[in-house]
Amino acid sequence: MTTVMIVDDSPTMLMSIKSVLTKAGMAVETAKDGQEALDRIKGGLKPNLVISDVNMPRLDGIGFVREARKAGLRFTPILMLTTESEATKRAEAKAAGATGWLVKPVQPDALLNVIRQVVPGA
């Protein structure tokens, strides 16, 4: 079973995306900011995919990607899911090691399509 970690400080987003993925048969882990996500990865969690917000307290999404790449998630796809659409932010995320960029609100079908592209067999 594909395990996805969702990182977002919004309870609404966590619940909404978790419902979409659970309905699609995926296991879901959640973290409320980049620091909590990083701590869980350092603690041994190995998701098949991470979906992370960008603007979060403590550790933002781009900082999280940078740290996660050093902390063992070297090849795991990390998708950014954010309200931010600015090209410079996208470039920053790409340089940090993000796999892709999705702008909120994302349609469930579009999200699942992207997931199946980056995690074959999901």
Residues at the interface with another protein (CB under 8 A): 8, 10-13, 15-16, 19-20, 23, 54-55, 82-87, 90, 93-94, 98-110, 114, 117-118
Nearer to another protein, 109 or 121 (CB): 109
3-state helix, strand, coil in the chain (%, to 5): 45, 20, 40
Q: Which is nearer to another protein, 22 or 72 (CB)?
A: 22
From the list 104, 100, 37, 31, the residue with the least C-alpha distance to 73 is: 37
Nearer to another protein, 45 or 104 (CB): 104
CA angle 94, 95, 99 (to 5 degrees): 30
Burial 100-109 (b: 16+ CB within 10 A, else e): bbeebebeee
Least distance from C-beta 44 to another protein, angstroms? 27
User: Could you tell me the smallest distance in angstroms from the CB atom of residue 56 to another protein?
Assistant: 11
CA–CA distance, 26 with 23 (Å, rounded to integer): 7
> Which lies closer to another protein via its Cβ, residue 31 or residue 54?
54
DSSP letter for 56, please: -
Q: How far is the CB of 18 from another protein (least distance, A)?
A: 9
